[in-house]
Amino acid sequence: MAYNAVETITRKRDGGKLSDDQIRWLIDAYTKGAIADEQMSALAMAVYFQGLDDRELSTWMNAMIASGDSMSFKGLGRFAVDKHSTGGVGDKITLILAPLVAACGAAVPQLSGRGLGHTGGTLDKMEAISGWRADLTDAEMRAQLSDIGAVICAAGAGLCPADKKLYALRDVTGTVESIPLICASIMSKKIAEGASGLVLDVKVGSGAFMKTPERARELATRMVGLGKAAGVATVALLTDMSTPLGLTAGNALEVAEAVEVLAGGGPQDVIDITLALAREMLAMAGIAEDPAVVLASGQAMDVWRAMVRAQGGDPDAPLPVAAHCQDVIADTDGYVTSLDALAVGVASWRLGAGRARKEDPVQAGAGVKLHAKPGDRVAKGDALMTLYTDTPQRFTDALDALAGAVVIGDTPVAPRPMVIERIA
């Protein structure tokens, strides 16, 4: 049967269902350039308002997988398990989690991306390390997984090319927040990647794409369903992103904090989420190791150093430091009762740690270091946070983003649970 773009757009616009063949035709034609960006933009907006049911979503995702290559990690001798975060502020968990889970005996093929907007990108963080390279061949990736057990790298150009085109389009057409399109984007890449297990870290709160538990639960439930239907063991944790994770947001700043955790220190919230995700990944792999014990032993640090070296990086090289810094000062005594993650993420972005367009450069040393978080007591005149950038004219816009971000009250607040819910 012949299909055309206009009929497909209007059917979805009016609330109709797209057939499996129609969806497969659509994704294939768009990937090959037979459907124009303006037509796919209209369809993405129709999906944003009308949604995709479970059948449509499954077909859409599988068509995106079929648009390119798929990988397999059979024969490694280790269970391959991956983690994906939906993005947040100060989320440096992958940098600790990949070597930790590898040190426990699993293989962790962590195909990661770059930051866009207020959420940081794992590859940008890793590229703050002198000499480190993100682009590996499939053979290099497999060899590193076999030898070391973990790899953090960019996805190859052949993996889900339909997603690359559609993701860029969604970013400039106001359709990023569509739950079906998020599901298809994440899960097509993760299933094409070929891991046998997947743990999803679905962020909830002001610094996340999903602002409410209800929206996060819907996203997590649909992604878990897609993973299981594809034969991949899949679990999701809903985790708090109302406050930045850890005490840093920015590329080199977050690498330093991740190394601090690997060395046996670091902020408790980062440790707690890392261990919660590690336990899920190890349970999938059938590994009985306690990740807390392995982290304390230093074995994860050994894997981290080997990972960095294997990709040309120097784990002993000093990390970049921004040329300029400025403190944000408390104007009263009291307890920090809230610290808005979105505001900190936007400030870090405006300081140069993030990008507005995919082709923009980032500053390795730019970002925000926090000195107080909810529950902490502060005195008037204390530094609440320090801002870092190579371009001091950026301070004004960063400070504008932080207006009202820190609330100081008379009574301390109880710590929020980091893991809100588990969906399996």
Give the residue among 348, 332, 346, 118 at the shortest CA–CA distance from 252.
348
Residue 250: beta bridge partners? Answer: 367
Structure tokens at 420: 């809100």
Pairing of strands 383-389, 324-329: antiparallel
Q: Reduced to 3 states, what is the DSSP secondary structure of residue 5?
A: helix
Residue 324: beta bridge partners? Answer: 389
Residue 204: beta bridge partners? Answer: 240
Give the residue among 256, 327, 268 at the shortest CA–CA distance from 295.
268
Structure tokens at 414: 């109880």
Separation between Cα atoms, residue 43 and residue 416, nearest integer Å: 40
Give the residue among 397, 379, 381 at the shortest CA–CA distance from 389.
397
> For 250-274, b where at least 16 C-beta lie within 10 A, e where not — what string?
bbbbbbbbbbbbbeeebbebbbebb
Cα-only R_g, the chain: 21
Q: Degrees (nearest 5) of the Cα angle 30, 31, 37? A: 45
Instruction: Please tell me which residue in 11, 92, 114, 189 is annotated as part of the active site.
Output: 189
Separation between Cα atoms, residue 166 and residue 170, nearest integer Å: 6
- Active-site residue flag, 189: yes
Structure tokens at 189: 């890449």
Instruction: Please tell me which residue in 170, 190, 305, 373 is annotated as part of the active site.
Output: 170
CA distances from 264 to 250, 274, 299, 344 (A): 21, 13, 11, 26
Give the residue among 370, 364, 363, 366 at the shortest CA–CA distance from 341.
370
Residue owning tokens 């190791």 = 289
Separation between Cα atoms, residue 139 and residue 411, nearest integer Å: 57
Give the residue among 138, 226, 214, 213 at the shortest CA–CA distance from 181.
226
Residue 329: beta bridge partners? Answer: 383
Instruction: Please tell me which residue in 11, 12, 24, 84 is annotated as part of the active site.
Output: 84
- Whether the Cβ atoms of residue 144 and residue 136 lie closer than 8 Å to each other: yes
Instruction: Please tell me which residue in 163, 201, 269, 340 is annotated as part of the active site.
Output: 163
Q: Reduced to 3 states, what is the DSSP secondary structure of residue 326?
A: strand
- Active-site residue flag, 164: no
Q: How many CA atoms lie within 13 A of 364 on its CB side?
A: 15
Backbone angles phi, psi at 149, to 5 degrees: 100, -10
Instruction: Please tell me which residue in 41, 67, 85, 185 is annotated as part of the active site.
Output: 185
Which residues are known to be catalytic?
Answer: 84, 163, 170, 185, 189
